[in-house]
Chains A and B, each alone.
Chain A
Amino acid sequence: MLNKESLVLRSRIRLARNVKTLFFPHRLSAEVARKLVDQVEDAFYVSRAMEEGYKTHRMWELGRTDLMVAFEKHLVSAKLINNSDIAAYIIDEKEDVSLMINEEDHIRLQVMGRDLDLEELYKKASKIDDLLSEKLDFAFDYNLGYITACPTNLGTAMRASVMLHLPGFTFTDKIGYVSQALAQMGMTIRGIYGEGSQAEGNIYQISNEVTLGMKEEDILYNLKDTIVKLLDEEQDHQRKLLNQYTLEMEDKIFRSMGTLMNARLMTSKEALYHLSLVRMGIETELLKDIDIRLIDGLIINTQPGMMKKAYGTELTEKERDINRAKIIRGIF
């Protein structure tokens, strides 16, 4: 069995900030909101390195496909897309840092990683926050901490989330129990594309729910500690499944491999299903010599928006399914 961190697809720290003197985005006029984009840029692009490393995208200037791609790559949220007429995002070349402007709050700063080193991600986010606060006066209350449009984000205004592959919990029907246990500890579990989304491909996001009353470091420590324990359990479930239903599990995994290698038509849902099983095959070392990062790349790159971006919007659904199957066959 591979190291348990192989079950982590990506991690993210998000900080919410609001400018003291302005109403929250949903109460701002388009004119003032768009001006705020300029102000954030002014506070952010303070050096040549920043100017070269980052780029601003004003969403009212982007096409529908570009918006979808940014969403599927987890660079922006669905809410930011809903606010397209006033929203913007600043992003670095590697797509590890994104600053969403005029989402639910004026600024949602996200730093993304690929492992459980949440402290390091937080440090990076906090440094950018410090830079912004040199020119922007953020709303802060001694008791309530950083002020946010929704009271569920007050305090640290920090949401840390980790995207995990949990086929063991899913196949043994124990996600409900995980969800209850997490809720008691001030954490929450959601599907792959955040609030309200389905857990397709057995991929889940776990994040802290409580933001007020605890220090950032303690929130991160608790989250990481819980996730490490959860991953130990996930590996136990995977082991048990393979021991108890050896032939059935092998059959499922190798069939998925066969489908991915040979299919001529593939919907995004079906792709996620088979990619998840193959990922499980790699995690349990039943399948060797396949790079797990290639599978994670396919999970993102075969989503509908990414397909439109690569092949143009005029493709029919069937043509997209043909191309999706072709991309996947190219990897295997």
Chain B
Amino acid sequence: MSMDSFFGSLFDMVENSNKEIDRCPKCKISFGDFQRSGLLGCSYCYEHFSKSLNPTIKRVQGGLTHTGKIPKSASQEVVSKRKIDELKLRLKDLITEEKFEEAAVVRDEIQELRKSLEEGESDAE
């Protein structure tokens, strides 16, 4: 099956009568353009068309959460958020293994990171 017909058939299910009218405010492509070519026009398209796109991404990829590499130039916020996500998983494992003392340390670490994230956000405001 070609990429075009693959996306085409997937998106037939999307109820979107405005797919030719609604355009990305930045690069001006429509959702219909995407269905025909399989390509978005710019990175902002993912935000603008997220409602229609996300179910497809989930179906094609199996998930919606990136767990791999983050750019070296990523902001402190991204780095902290990733660290929190990883610690949360670790916390879950520790609790399952009934290692409560270690779990408490990880929990504190998460709280610490969350606090610094919030402070960062209010600084930005």
A213: which of B3, B46, B67, B82 is its contact (CB, 8 Å)? Answer: B67
The answer to the question of A24 belonging to the interface, with a C-beta cut-off of 8 Å to chain B, is yes
Chain A residue nearest to B47 (CB atoms) is: A141
**Segment of A92-100, A152-160, A174-182, A294-302 engaged in the interface with chain B:** A152-160
B66 interface neighbour in A18, A20, A134, A155, Cβ under 8 Å: A155
- In the complex, the answer to whether B56 meets A151 with C-beta atoms within 8 Å is yes
Q: Which of A2-10, A142-150, A252-260, A310-318 contacts B (4 or more CB under 8 A)?
A: A142-150
Q: Does A48 contact B (CB under 8 A)?
A: no
A151/B64 contact (C-beta < 8 A), A138-B71, A141-B46, A216-B69 known: no
Whether A156 lies near B66 (C-beta < 8 A) is yes
B42: chain A residues at CB < 8 Å are 22-24, 27
For the complex, is B87 an interface residue (Cβ under 8 Å from A)? no
Q: Mark A19-34, 1 if CB is under 8 A from B, else 0.
A: 0101110110000000
B51 at the A/B interface (Cβ < 8 Å)? no
A139 CB-CB contact with B under 8 Å: yes
- Give, as a whole number of angstroms, the nearest-CB distance from A44 to chain B: 15
Contacts of B37 in A (CB 8 A): 26
Within 8 A of B (CB), among A202-257: 210-216
Q: Among the listed stretches B73-81, B88-96, B100-108, which one makes contact with chain A, having 4 or more residues with CB under 8 Å of it?
A: B73-81
Instruction: Tell me how many residues of B have a C-beta within 8 Å of chain A.
Output: 33
Closest to B73 in A: A133
Known contacts being A23-B27, A27-B29, A212-B61, is A139 close to B66, with CB within 8 Å? no
Question: What's the nearest-Cβ distance from chain B to residue A214, in Å?
Answer: 7
Interface membership of A284, Cβ < 8 A: no
**Complex Cα distance A69/B65, Å?**
39
Per the bound structure, the CA–CA distance linking A112 and B51 in Å amounts to 38
The count of residues in chain A whose C-beta lies closer than 8 Å to any C-beta of chain B is 40
Q: Do B67 and A154 have beta carbons less than 8 Å apart? A: no
Task: Tell me whether B70 is interfacial, beta carbon within 8 Å.
Answer: yes
Does B117 touch A at the CB level, under 8 Å? no
Query: A23-B27, A130-B72 in contact; A213/B38 too (CB < 8 A)?
Result: no
- What is the chain B residue whose CB lies nearest that of A137? B73
* A24-B39, A26-B39, A133-B72 known; A143+B65 contact, CB < 8 A: yes
Verify if A84 is at the interface (C-beta below 8 Å from B): no
Residues in B lying within 8 Å of A, measured CB to CB: 3, 26-27, 29, 37-43, 46, 53, 56-57, 60-74, 78, 81-82
Q: Can you report 17 A-B residue pairs in the complex whose CB atoms are below 8 A from each other? A: A20-B43, A23-B27, A26-B37, A104-B39, A134-B72, A138-B73, A139-B43, A140-B78, A141-B46, A142-B66, A150-B38, A152-B60, A155-B61, A186-B62, A212-B61, A212-B62, A214-B67
Which 7 pairs between the two chains have the least Cβ-Cβ distance?
A: A213-B63, A145-B66, A139-B43, A212-B61, A156-B68, A147-B43, A23-B42
